[in-house]
Every structure is written in C-alpha cells, then in structure tokens.
Amino acid sequence: MRSLLRPTLRRALQAVVTVWAAYTLTFLLLNVLPGDAVLARVGADTGLDEISPEQLEELRRSMGLDGSPVTQYLDRLSGLLTGDLGDSMRTGAPVATTITDALPATLGLAAAGFVVAVVGAAVLAVVTVRTRSVWLRGLLGSLPGLGLGLPAYIIGPLLIMVFSFGLRLLPAAGSGGPEALVLPAVTLAVVPGAMIAQILVSSLEHALAQPYATTAVAKGAGRLRTILVHCLRNALPPALAMAGVVVGTLLAGSVLVETIYSRAGLGRVMLDAVNNVDLTVVQGVALVGAVAVVVANLAADLGTRLLDPRGRAPRRVAPVVPVAVGSAS
C-alpha cells in the first residue's frame, strides 16, 4: 500500500493543476476575450439605449468587473481558494450557494443514471459474451452502437411518448417521488451505458481468450463462472479508464434530462445562466463539471492500481515464460 501513496499524490497534484487550468480557461473565455460582459448583461435586461456611463461604471463595480483582467483574475482565484465563487451577476446571490442548492437534485439524478448505466452495461456485456447463439450475440453486440446514437434529447421525448402518454405508466415531468425518477434515469443512462458496454464486451472477450481463462475452463469452471470470477476483474481497468468520460457524459446529459423532464437542478441553473448572460454562474457550474470529471479520473486511476498489482510493484515484472507458451498452444 505504501507504494500506492506516491503515484496517488502525484496524480492528485496533476488533478489540482487541471482544475486550475480549466478554471483559467473559462475565465479567459468569459471575461477577457468577448467584449463586455456588463454591456451584454445590461442588454439582456433592458436594452442598451438608456444607460449613462456613470451607471455602467457603478454596475461594473458591483459585479466585480472593474480593474484590469489580471486583478480580476487574481481576485477570483483567491476567492476560489476560500470556496467563494463570486456573486451572480443577475441576482447578486453567492454562486456557491446557488450551486450547492441545486447540486443534490442533479447528484441524485446522476447517481440513478450511473447505477442504471453500470448495471445495464454489465448485464448486457456478460450476456453478450456468455451466449453461444451467434444471432443473439450479433443482436446484443449491436446494441451499444445504437445506444451511442440515442442521446437524452432523442430517447427522452420518445420514452415520454411511449411510457407517459401511450401506456400512462410513469410521469412525464417533475421532481417528486421515486417513480418520477425512472424515466429520467433511464434516459440519462443510455449513452454512458452504451460506452461502458462497448468497452466491457471487448475487454471481456480479450480476457476470455487469455491463458488464465483457458486454465479456469480446463479445471472445470463453467462459462459464466469463468467470466464473472476470473475475467471480470481483469476486464475492468479499460472500463474504469472511461470514468471521467462517463461522469462528464452524465453531467452533460443531466442538463438535457432536466430540461426534457422539467426537473430542478444544476443543468437548469446553467441554462438559465447562459440565457441571462450570468457569467459568474456559468463559470461556477463549468468548474463543478471539471472538478467532477477530474475527481472521477483520479478515483479510476486509484481503482486501477488497486485492481492491477503490476501497477503497484516498483518495477514491472516481465511476463513469466510458461504463460506465453500456454497461450501459443
């Protein structure tokens, strides 16, 4: 375990740097490159006609947009270290509070979507690899590719059409009750689930072709047991490497799902902020997204090291010769 500490610390440091870089990037995009956020703000509210230079200056100060970009940036960054994301340009409320208020709803949705995606992908992958029927394998094997072409805004309205208005089984909108979470969670899960299933099928097939799988079968293990007990653990790292992408997809998907099903949450906060040119809120939500993705990558990295003892050893050991001979026969 001690050998895990150093690489993990190094990766954690890289993660912090990445979050900082992402924050700086959004700052550059939002505050430096495009003309004038204050004018955009005023324009969004009232139209540009009736506003005096003094009023503009006053607005600028109240939004923390006076001074040079560098001082603004340093101000924001030092605020960030104390958990202060600035104030909303529209309502004046602290961005951090706005986000923490909206976060639980989105986290609940994303967690439900994650569970559906992982369980669905794992079952689909194991059944695909397990079956000996060629047509079933072909059918199941093509599902992930189809799923990737069905993002939330396509599958969601179709599910509403069938299950809410056609069969009248599940509510089409709202945040209340567990049954209101079913369709959103499934909608959110399709694309990340398809990604995971695709990776898992190919890595399971690869694992099944390895000598240790052959050994397990030779010693009398059934095909399902071979897959679940012997292959799954070794097939996991490629799927784990997708964790950042999956978390990013879940977050991006929840923006769509919250719109499709009229739910409250971080996605709605982001959309309202974009529509109202509320740049501090936009930047805050983008930062939360980056933190989530980076943390997921970090966790996946640690998980891979825990799963694969080779990553833990101080020096990688060359494959033992008898194994290579076994695979050739």
Residues that bind another protein in the complex, under the rule CB under 8 A? 17-19, 21-22, 24-26, 29-30, 33-34, 132, 134, 137-138, 141, 145-146, 148-154, 157-158, 160-161, 165, 205, 208-209, 213-214, 217-218, 244, 247-249, 251-253, 255-256, 259-260, 270-271, 273-274, 277, 279, 282-283, 285-286, 289-290, 293-294
Quote the least distance from Cβ 158 to another protein, whole Å.
Answer: 6
Q: Toward another protein, which CB reaches closer, 58 or 138?
A: 138
Tokens describing residue 279: 């740049």
Q: Toward another protein, which CB reaches closer, 63 or 285?
A: 285
CA angle 299, 300, 304 (to 5 degrees): 120
From 247, 229, 237, select the one nearest 290 (Cα to Cα).
247
From 294, 283, 298, select the one nearest 84 (Cα to Cα).
283
**CA–CA gap between residue 139 and residue 64 (Å, rounded):** 57
Q: Toward another protein, which CB reaches closer, 109 or 285?
A: 285
Quote the least distance from Cβ 129 to another protein, whole Å.
Answer: 9
**CA–CA gap between residue 321 and residue 329 (Å, rounded):** 13
Q: Toward another protein, which CB reaches closer, 181 or 294?
A: 294
Q: Residue 206 in contact with residue 127, Cβ under 8 Å?
A: no
Quote the least distance from Cβ 294 to another protein, whole Å.
Answer: 5
**CA–CA gap between residue 259 and residue 10 (Å, rounded):** 39
Q: Toward another protein, which CB reaches closer, 197 or 251?
A: 251
Calculate Rg over the CA atoms of the chain: 25
Quote the least distance from Cβ 144 to another protein, whole Å.
Answer: 11
Region of 220 on the Ramachandran plot (φ > 0 left; ψ -120 to 50 alpha; else beta):
left
Q: Toward another protein, which CB reaches closer, 25 or 224?
A: 25
